[in-house]
Structure formats: C-alpha cells, structure tokens
Amino acid sequence: MATLILISKSPYITKDNLYALETSLNLRKMNEEVGVLLIQDAVLSGIQGQKGQVEELLRKNLEVGVNIYALKPDVQARGISEERMIKGIQLVDYGGWVDLTMEKYHKIVSWT
C-alpha cells in the first residue's frame, strides 16, 4: 500500500523531519511505495548545501526510490528558487497535492 508522509515544520526547530525521513526509509526497505511531501516551513529542508542530517536523509530517500515532493507555492513564498532545491525533489502545486492524496497514495501520515 502506498504511503505519503506530510512534513510541515522547519528542520531548524524540531527533529520531526528527521524522524519522518527515517520512517520513509524504513517503509521503503519493506518494499512499500513511499512519497514525502514538504509543505509550509518544511520546504526549507529541500535547500541544497545545508548542514545537518536533513539533506543527507532526503538524498538517501531519493536514492532508494522514495518520491520527494515540495509544495511549489510554499517554496516560492519563502523566496527559494527551484535551482536551490535538491535535485530530484519534484515541485507540485495545490492540484498536484490533491492528486497525490486522492489518486497515488492510499495512506497519509502527517508529521505536522
């Protein structure tokens, strides 16, 4: 069963992002289809070249086939250009978010 993990908090104020990304890796190891959607301040996690474990975990997720998405309006609202985002992160609009939750993923886990 496909699972979408929603992350909304900044990587600078909580370790929830790390726990969520570790969870997605573990689900993937169990051969589950997994996606992660970064929304609100969690889109800051997707910026390249940051210190800490978040970028490393995002890259590991991408390497094992986890789909990583970021909500484009939230990326734009924070003044982040697409070029600054980690390669492989897919930007989606609100319609894309609806499609992910209604059509692609059957379970939603929110780390908000």
The CA distance from 50 to 109, in Å, is 25
What is the Cα 36 distance to its own chain's centre? 4
* Structure tokens belonging to residue 79: 């003044």
The CA distance from 68 to 56, in Å, is 13
How many residues does the structure list for the chain?
112
- According to CATH, what is the number of the domain 3-111? 3.40.1260.10
Structure confidence by residue, pLDDT tens digits, 6-62: 999 999 998 999 999 999 999 999 999 999 999 999 999 999 998 889 999 999 999
* Structure tokens belonging to residue 101: 């939750």
Site of tokens 């978040």 = 54
The answer, as to whether pTM is greater than 0.85, is yes
